[in-house]
Amino acid sequence: MNRSNEIAAKPILTTREMTATALMTALICALGPIAFPIPVLSPVPISLGTLAIYLAVYVLGMKKGILSVVVYLLLGLVGLPVFTGFSGGPAKVIGPTGGYMIGYLFLAAIEGFFTDHFHGKQLMTAIGMVTGTALLYLFGTLWLAFQMNLTFGAALGAGVLPYLPGDTVKIILALILGSAIRRRFPDHIY
In tens, the pLDDT along 5-55 reads 555 566 788 888 999 999 999 999 999 999 887 776 666 778 899 999 999
- Whole-angstrom CA distances from 73 to 41, 66, 88, 100, 171 are 26, 10, 9, 11, 21
User: Which pLDDT score, from 0 to 100, does residue 2 have?
Assistant: 55
What does the domain layout of the chain look like in residue ranges?
11-189
User: Which pLDDT score, from 0 to 100, does residue 39 have?
Assistant: 73
User: Which pLDDT score, from 0 to 100, does residue 188 have?
Assistant: 52
Nearest Cα to 54, choosing from 177, 140, 164? 177
| CATH T-level topology, domain 11-189 | Arp2/3 complex 21 kDa subunit ARPC3 (1.10.1760)
User: Which pLDDT score, from 0 to 100, does residue 38 have?
Assistant: 76
User: Which pLDDT score, from 0 to 100, does residue 169 have?
Assistant: 95
Low-confidence ranges of the chain (pLDDT < 70): 1-10, 40-43, 186-190
d(CA 5, CA 52): 38
Say if pTM beats, i.e. exceeds, 0.85: yes
User: Which pLDDT score, from 0 to 100, does residue 187 have?
Assistant: 61
Percent above pLDDT 70 for the chain: 89
